[in-house]
Structure 1
Amino acid sequence: MSFTTETYPGVHASPPDATRGFVFNHTMLRVKDPAVALDFYTRVLGLRVLRKLDFPEMKFSLYFLARAEDTTAAPDDIGQRTAWTFAQRGVLEFTHNWGTEADPDFKYHDGNAQPQGFGHICFSVPDLDAAIRWFDDNGVTYVKRPEQGKMRDVAFIKDPDGYWIEIVEAARLTQLGRPEAGVSDRA
């Protein structure tokens, strides 16, 4: 069975041939302190660091993280590992501008305060209840727990820089967006 896109104004029915092979590789978040951000994303969310790139002349570093299960596929050669990193899907990039970690007043805009812009990233988990217990055990800050608000079975947590992370269990979202069923079948 082939994929058929949903159709709305502005949507092209099929991707242009010139885009064949395009892959969404990563999205970037600026982080104040990479040690704090890396601890949260590797310990609490289970991501792994694929590659770190330093740019001393511009005083910043990039960290690329993903849920890479098959680490044997990661080349040891640094150039090949960099190319491999940029060929992956679903990568989270951190940009650390050197020195921000030493400034107690420094803070990035999370995109959800005014003026709003960037909203959140999302992790799909196999068991939302187990994930919530794990987050509770690790003292994670919530924006919204799954039982709160009109949209049930969806949680929002914050990372150490204040960015919002949506947490969903795909199997619980079958009724999401169905007007006849309300917001959720578990509401």
Structure 2
Amino acid sequence: MIKFNHFNFNVLDLDKSLDFYKKALGLEPVRVKDAEDGSFRLVYLGDGLTEFQLELTWLRDRKEPYNLGECEFHLAFHTDEYEQLHQKHQDMGCICFENPAMGIYFISDPDGYWIEIVPEDK
């Protein structure tokens, strides 16, 4: 048997990213791993409902933003609170693309990663 465990995003400013993921999606740290030499920190975020985790990797010596190419990848969440989340994300100014015909939209995190928001019934 094999099942999903986690997905990774590398982040430049860990505190800013942790704040974003908590405010935008309600994700909380569930596990932290620090390198003995302080060169990196891994923070695993959970939604409190599933076993799936988002790993945020912070590298001490990284100074320049990550090149995400054309950002042709994304993480997706489905929700039964679509309208409320859309308003919250609109107020936060983090919506980067909307597709009304499909009934979905995307938000962008502080490092430019795209996150799709899908209504539960889609």
Structure with greater helix share of residues: 1
Flag the structure with larger Rg: 1
User: Which of the residues 160, 164, 168 maps onto 2:114?
Assistant: 164
- Give, in whole Å, the separation in 2 of the partners of 1:49 and 1:155: 25
Q: Which runs of 5+ in 1 are unaligned?
A: 1-18, 70-87, 174-187
Verify: 1:144 aligned to 2:94, yes or no.
Answer: no
- SS for the counterpart of 1:144 is strand
Would you say the 8 A contact 1:23–1:89 is kept in 2?
Answer: no
Alignment TM-score, normalising by the size of structure 1: 0.60
User: Which of the residues 74, 82, 87 maps onto 1:133?
Assistant: 87
Find runs of 4+ consecutive structure 1 residues off by over 4 angstroms. none
Alignment TM-score, normalising by the size of structure 2: 0.88
Instruction: Give the equivalent residue in structure 2 for 1:90.
Output: 52
- Percent identity over the alignment is 31
- Give, in whole Å, the separation in 2 of the partners of 1:170 and 1:125: 5
Root-mean-square deviation (CA, aligned residues, Å) is: 1.9
Post-superposition offset of 1:145: 1.9
Would you say the 8 A contact 1:50–1:64 is kept in 2?
Answer: yes
Aligned length: 122
Verify: 1:63 aligned to 2:13, yes or no.
Answer: no
Post-superposition offset of 1:110: 2.3
User: Which of the residues 47, 51, 57 maps onto 2:27?
Assistant: 47
